[in-house]
Structure 1
Amino acid sequence: MLQQIADGYGQQRRSPVMHTPAELGLDYENVTFPSRDGVPLEGWFIPAAGSNRLIIANHPLGFSRSGLPTQFEPWHSQWAPSGNGFEINFIPDYKILHDAGYNVLAYDLRNHGFSGAANGGIASGGIFEARDVVGSLQYARSRAETRDMAIGLFSRCLGCSSTFSAMAQFPEAFNDVRCLVAPQPVSTQIIMQRRLALAGVAAERIKDLEQRIILRTGLGFAARNPREWAKHVCIPTFLYQVHDDILTQPSDVQTMFDNIPIAEKQLLWIYGTTARWDGYVEFQRRPQPMLEWFAQYMS
């Protein structure tokens, strides 16, 4: 089991792009652009007529820009035991943003969806994926329709960690980014500890797992640390998280929030569930707090 987990970090399983914006009546354009280090990234540009505001969407680990088909194998067996066996479809998110007056750029991170392979296919927890976040900003600033738009970020899970990491590595890229909405960032060590506990594996085996991950990727838990990267956050940031998420601990996100060094920040807890996936559909169920955050800083 430990080796299977480590192998998953060494060769990230791709989620297919199962849906398109057309399913909800949205016009869109297939786009491709390079990451900061040249990796080809694939995405959608969803225009909102008359709008000068753009939201760039970054997805969670193992997902694609369209979500994750967790109702199907092999994803169902992996996630159903923790209560996360239902599909995540992100197209309704883009519909909500579009109808609120935002253009949307949604894309696949490296080694995900249709985007290019890089770094041997490993999942780095945001270290290398940070270059994709910067690449999306560079693309938005170079595209004729979007270069003068106000930019906000909607960065989920790995997308959030990658955004934090990008702020630590490339702070100049965020000089004119207005704000960030960031659902459910998580530290690799924390989620791995919880997964082992749910599987009945002794807690001390986490050291064995980390060694196996290092042997597959060259990166241990200390290197994959969004709590430290949060100290470099430089734009107004709205975090939200399932408080009793069985795959993490409240203290993880609380520490990230506390480490953000600016006053313009907010943390919203979601109660009444232990399913992490409920945090990913929170925006579809109750979008108002997030839309208010975007409106406040992108007007």
Structure 2
Amino acid sequence: MFAKMVSDMMIKPGNSPVFDQPADFSLDYEDVEFKTRDGVTLRGWIIKGGNDKVIVQTHFGVQCSRSGYTPEGKGRIKMWKENISFLRQAKYLNERGYTVLMYDMRNHGESDLGNPPWISWGPNEAEDVIAAVDFISSNPVYKDASIGLLSICMGAVASTYAYGKGDAGLRKYPNIKAMIAVQPLNYRAFVKAFGLPGFLDKAGSKKSRERLGFDLDTKTFVPDIKHVSVPTLVIQNNNDPWTDLDFVQHYYDELHVEKDMLWLDLSKDRAAAYDYLGTNPEPLADFFDRYL
């Protein structure tokens, strides 16, 4: 029972509703859907801007959708007290001339369940990032557009895994010109910060291994960092209690491309950096403006 409870907390889909709409922000958009190579249907929005520059925004995992995060339905322990709407930075980017693709990863929001129907913390979701880029690249309207990746937390991990897939991954798309990786997260550091007793940690990890077919404690995207082939901005809150800051520095150090690091001095909450994206979107647009 305890093993299932802990595993559910870490990898079970749910609690990721699409809680607002682009129309709430007076944005011109269309609903879209597309399939991954392994047959999962993903759903999202295209926020219509210019045809020559597209941002693919990939959200964080477990409690998030393309909309962002809402505390509604999250029980007594909440990551953030208010909605964090990712449409805020989408609106700003749109006003700067960008089209923005926002989509739900598998097992999140309104997208379908994957096989297996569990959140993998990046390896399986890498196929979603590839599918999103391919969807834009094969769209007659945007086929000649430059693409920027705005990849948040598990989205950053998934994007990194996708760069490690060689000719089957993101490296085959020369139209990707830049990436922003927001708080790339190491699973083991997160679980350690969670403070679970050792016996619960081991039991939950064993159950998750049975469900996913691999061990979250040993599966890592670190070898794939060096394969990222576009200029990258890494963003991290200095006061994030849910990560290992040395690991984030290591992620940055392993990048062999033009790169920048933006350390933020925010409140002692992991979600503070996610909220920052919408309240201070200028650094995002400024970075993409340099390369797209």
TM-score for both structures, normalised by structure 2? 0.92
Shift of the 272–60 alpha-carbon distance from structure 1 to 2, 3 Å rule, reads closer
Work out the CA distance in 1 between the residues paired with 2:61 and 2:164.
Answer: 20
Question: Deviation of residue 251 (structure 1)?
Answer: 1.2
Q: Which residue of 2 aligns with 1:244?
A: 239
Deviates more, 1:242-251 or 1:101-110: 242-251
Task: Kindly indicate whether the alpha-carbon contact (under 8 Å) linking 2:171 and 2:229 is maintained by their aligned counterparts in 1.
Answer: no
Q: Is the aligned partner of 1:12 residue 2:6?
A: no
Matches of 2:274 and 2:175 in 1, distance apart? 27
Aligned to 1:178: 177
1:226 pairs with 2:225: no
Higher helix proportion, which one? 1
Contact 1:47 1:103 in 2 (8 A): yes
Contact kept? 1:21, 1:27, Cα under 8 Å: yes
CA contact (8 A) 1:9 1:122 kept: no
The 3 A distance-change label for structure 1 pair 214 and 127 is same
The residue number in structure 2 matching 1:93 is: 89
- Report if aligned partners of 1:125, 1:224 keep a CA contact under 8 Å in 2: no
Task: Return the alpha-carbon distance in structure 1 between the equivalents of residues 188 and 78 of structure 2.
Answer: 18
Report the Cα offset of residue 43 of structure 1: 0.7
Structure 1 pair 243–203 and aligned structure 2 pair: CA distance change class (3 A): farther
The one-letter code sitting in structure 1 at the alignment partner of 2:254 is N
Does the 8 Å contact 1:137/1:173 carry over to 2? no
Which one-letter code corresponds to 1:245 in the other structure?
D
Distance 1:206 1:9, change over 3 A: closer
Asked if the contact 1:226–1:256 (Cα under 8 Å) also holds between the matched residues in 2, the reply is: no
Letter aligned with residue 30 of structure 2: E
Paired residue for 2:193? 194
Greater alpha carbon shift after TM alignment, 219-228 vs 27-36: 219-228
Q: Which residue of 1 aligns with 2:210?
A: 215
Three-state SS of the structure 2 residue aligned to 1:132 is helix
Query: Aligned Cα RMSD in Å?
Result: 1.8
Q: Within the alignment, does 1:125 sit opposite 2:121 as a pair?
A: yes
Please state whether the residue corresponding to 1:281 is helix, strand or coil.
helix
Alignment check: 8 A CA contact 1:126 1:224 kept: no
Q: Which runs of 5+ in 1 are unaligned?
A: none
**What whole-Å deviation, never above 9, does each CA across 1:83-121 have from its counterpart, x for those lacking one?**
x33321111111011011101111010111111111131
Q: How far apart in 2 are the matches of 1:67 and 1:248?
A: 20
Q: For the residues of structure 2 that align with 1:126 and 1:278, how far apart are their CA atoms? A: 22
After TM superposition, the structure 1 = structure 2 runs for residues 1-299 of structure 1, keeping only pairs within 5 Å, are 3-48=4-49, 50-62=50-62, 63-70=64-71, 72-73=72-73, 75-80=74-79, 84-169=80-165, 170-195=169-194, 197=195, 201-202=196-197, 206-262=201-257, 264-298=258-292
**Aligned residues of 1:10 and 1:216 also touching (Cα < 8 A):** no
Query: For residues 105 and 210 of structure 1, what CA distance do their matches in structure 2 show?
Result: 34
Question: Which range is displaced more, 24-33 or 246-255?
Answer: 246-255
Distance 1:232 1:76 in 2: 39
Distance 2:282 2:100 in 1: 18
Retained in 2: the 8 A contact 1:179–1:235?
yes
- Return closer, same or farther for 1:31/1:248 CA change in 2, 3 Å cut-off: same
Secondary structure of 2:116's counterpart equals helix
Shift in Å at residue 134 of structure 1? 0.7
Letter in 2 for 1:52: D
Percent identity reads 30
- Say if 1:167 and 1:174, in contact at 8 Å, map to a contact too: no
Q: Tell me the SS of whatever aligns to 2:89.
A: helix
Aligned equivalents of 1:206 and 1:273: distance in 2? Answer: 27
Q: Deviations over 1:242-262 (max 9, x none)?
A: 111111121121111111122
Distance 2:77 2:211 in 1: 20
Q: Aligned partners of 1:261, 1:203: CA distance in 2, in Å? A: 37
Q: Is the 8 A contact 2:266 2:273 kept in 1?
A: no
Q: Is the 8 A contact 1:30 1:44 kept in 2?
A: yes
How far apart are residue 55 of structure 1 and its match? Answer: 0.5
Deviation at 1:204, TM superposition (A): 7.1
- Deviations along 1:226-250, whole A, 9 cap, x unmatched? 3332122111110101111111121
SS at structure 1 position matched to 2:78: helix
